[in-house]
Chains A and B, each alone.
Chain A
Amino acid sequence: MIWIVKNLWLIPVLPLLAAGIIAVNKQPARKLAAALAIGAMAIGFLLSLCAFSATLGHHGEGSFREVFSFPWIQFGGQWMDIGWVLDPLTAIMLVMVTFVGMLIFIFSVGYMAHDQNFMRFFCFLALFASGMLGVVIANNLFLFFVSWEIVGLTSYLLIGFWYHKPSAAAAAKKAFITTRIGDLGLLLGMVWLYAQTGTLNFYDNGKGCLEATALSQMLTHVTIGGLGVSTAIGLLIFLGAVGKSGQVPLHVWLPDAMEGPTPVSALIHAATMVAAGVFLVARVYPLMSAGAIIGEHGVPVTTALTVVTWIGAITAIFAATIAVAQNDIKRILAYSTVSQLGYMMMGLGVGGVAVGMFHLITHAFFKALLFLGSGSVIHGCHEEQDVRKMGGLKKYMPITFMVYAIGMLALAGFPLFFSGFWSKDEILHSAHNWPVSHIPFLLGCTGALFTAFYMTRQVALVFFGSYRGHEEESAHGHSAPSHSHSSESHSHDPHESPAVMTVPLMILAGFAILLGLIGTPAWPWFDGYLTGEEFKFDFSKLTEPGTLGLMLASAAIVFTGLGLGWFLYGKRQRKTADEKDVLEVAQPFVFKVLQNKYYVDEFYEMTVIRFNAFAAWFCDFADKWIFGGAVLLVSYVTLGLAWLYKFMDEYLVNLGFDTGCESLRQSGGGLSKLHAGRVQTYLRILGVALVVLILFLIWGRKA
């Protein structure tokens, strides 16, 4: 066993330690906090690289996998194991999370520079990273769940970081509660899995729940509705992923989570929390695909995977359309994230782990880039988030514009040079070959069109044209009250961010371009790395009819989207911030529906929340009148009994006793009079008594 496998726990524990040290440090030591958190991530990154290198070079020998488990908790006669696994999936996620996380941490130093709660922020960030890394290395659904919940908790803390804003507090609660619904499914799935297989270890030398013995055992069982047990458990676990990854219908929390600081949005939406859901599905993929009918392209088809695909496809198109009509720069990105997560799920469903994970990795980089870029924009525009009030930032923030454009092109899937193109193309390609239905493919293509469109819209509004922020300032006087000291020092024009923020952006931009090259059809290194299969460099694969046609089609889609966006928003810039959107003028009704996110929130408000409120009211009522009444009744009965006892005590027991005592006392007093102490009186009584006795005897004899 390689040393790194045994010491894999260091990677999540280091940020945990950093968080602990920051938390107990009373002094406001900003530099120490930042250094600890970033240092922990940097060491974690180095360790991850070691782990990564250990998994390299195993092509063609099946997938590399080392586990390290040990018993942790005993209950009954059984031991609950805890442990970690090192396989390509873990390694690539570790590298991605630590690297992106580290860049986000560095960026945060600049972004949060003015915030009073800098220390708390870094404490939470480190804890968050720790939870996420725990999720990644876990070889046990139990450890996985614990880390998963740490992630959930810290996301709550971070989204609600500015808790003095009511909207942030509400968003934090929303995120927590919505993901909780999914977590319930995960928990149920976990319990059921344990009941079926008696283990929660993923891999355990043939005894784990994701290995052949357990899977075939589960396949033989059928539960309600003719579902295989493995399918049912898989779907329950997928519910957890739906909650965490913001899939329809539990996507509502994710856009609201934008209330948190922007680095948090980047961390949650790019590298960690949302990826955790996709990672979960990838991790339990053997369970999902158990008993599959292998389709014509070697793709497993099961009920669970079909559900995953459909949910993903629907989410992809659903969120992409909403993103078109949003005006908040971060909200656009949030819906874009939801949409891209849909793509990942779809990729997992139609193409397997490699397809979905490839998009996860590339997306992590360019979405982190976009979020941090938007953070830079927001920072530069004095906390302004409305794209209508920006514009022309190309001139003021050239570096940010450059990297943002790269991120945008990667997300839109600009052909050949950007990572998003390759990963998305692979998903569409797999969807095209999916034997069950062609609709997810069409949905994916339409989603891609929308993606290109809304990203062009955003970039055109933010970076092109002329700056529209001044008019508001002149109308409303001084803006950005929270940053008075910083905005006094320079003009009200937007300004470029400091190097601590732009350098991570540039690094991320580099990866947003380069990462695509590890998974092109000509050189499917990523696929081979994850599956452990042999592959070779074959340029001719690019020009195969199926592949080439699809690439051309998707390129055409992207160009259409880009062109349409530029035509509508770039060529003719809006003059003022209040001007109506072009689409709003053309299709007011559709635009309104999209702007209101298909009224999903309102729908939930009317159904789930109203039901919940009713249930709460009912519980309150029951508590007050039924249970409260019962309790009151019992108390009254007790009171009555107590009164009765008191009465009996006072008037029966005490009185009887008192009377007895009194009469005893009186008779004692009476008798004591006889004892006058006069010996002669006694003698006299004795004599009289004797005489009486004698007389009595004599008369008695006579009678």
Chain B
Amino acid sequence: MTPLQGCLLVSALLFAIGFAGAVTRRHAILALVGIELMLNAANLNFIAFWRYGAHPEALTGVMFVIFSIAIAAAEAAVGLALIIAIYRHYKTSNLDEVKDLKG
């Protein structure tokens, strides 16, 4: 097994765990944590493909990941702010009870 395959397996596992958490958790913050996990799985893929790719000297993977982490931070901030706003509005952070988007 090459190191790349190992990295990809870890990343896929991480993504699956994150997806499962995002889908199954009722609490909004836990769902957000799941999403962060899926995001980091993607970051891991970036790093792995860059590290074992054709041009490891070009630093492109690192650049992408830094951007991605910055965006993830921003996203986490927005998401938390949304959750706080939702909690203030509905007096709950249970996602099953927040159904106003229903068509």
Binding site for B on A (CB under 8 A): 671-672, 674-680, 683-684, 687
Contact = CB atoms under 8 A, between A and B. Distances in A.
B23 A672 contact: no
Interface residues of B, number: 13
Contacts of B102: 672, 675-677
Contacts of A680: 22-24, 31, 95
A676 B23 contact: no
Contacts of A674: 103
B95 A672 contact: no
Interface string B27-59: 000010000000000000000000000000000
B52 to A, nearest CB: 22
B103 A678 contact: no
Interface string B84-103: 00000000000110111111
Contacts of B101: 675, 677, 679
A233 B99 CA distance: 104
Contacts of B98: 677, 679
Contacts of A687: 19, 23
Nearest to A679: B95
Closest 8 CB pairs of A and B: A677-B102, A675-B103, A677-B99, A677-B101, A672-B103, A684-B23, A680-B23, A683-B23
Interface string B3-25: 00000000000000001001110
Contact of B103 (A671, A683, A684): A671
Given A671-B103, A672-B103, A678 B96 contact: yes
A690 to B, nearest CB: 9
B22 A678 contact: no
B99 A683 contact: no
A684 B25 CA distance: 12
**Interface of chain A, main secondary structure:** helix
Contacts of A678: 95-96, 99
Given A677-B100, A679-B95, 19 more contacts: A672-B102, A672-B103, A674-B103, A675-B101, A675-B102, A676-B99, A676-B102, A677-B99, A677-B102, A678-B96, A678-B99, A679-B98, A679-B101, A680-B22, A680-B23, A680-B24, A680-B31, A683-B22, A687-B23
Nearest to B96: A678
30 contacts: A671-B103, A672-B102, A672-B103, A675-B101, A675-B102, A675-B103, A676-B99, A676-B102, A677-B98, A677-B99, A677-B100, A677-B101, A677-B102, A677-B103, A678-B95, A678-B96, A678-B99, A679-B31, A679-B95, A679-B98, A679-B101, A680-B22, A680-B23, A680-B24, A680-B31, A680-B95, A683-B19, A683-B22, A684-B23, A687-B23
Contacts of B22: 680, 683
A671 B102 CA distance: 11
Nearest to B103: A675
A388 to B, nearest CB: 113
B31 to A, nearest CB: 7
A448 B19 CA distance: 141
A687 B22 CA distance: 11
B7 to A, nearest CB: 19
Contacts of B95: 678-680
Interface string B70-95: 00000000000000000000000001
B79 to A, nearest CB: 11
A674 B95 CA distance: 16
A21 B68 CA distance: 110
A669 to B, nearest CB: 10
Nearest to A673: B103
A680 B96 CA distance: 8
Nearest to B35: A683
Contacts of B100: 677
Contacts of A683: 19, 22-23
A683 B101 CA distance: 14
A683 B103 CA distance: 16
A684 B31 CA distance: 12
Q: Count chain B CB atoms within 10 A of each CB in A671, A672, A679, A683 and give the residue with the most.
A: A679
A185 to B, nearest CB: 91
Contacts of B96: 678
Contacts of B99: 676-678
A677 B96 CA distance: 9
A675 B95 CA distance: 14
A662 B33 CA distance: 44
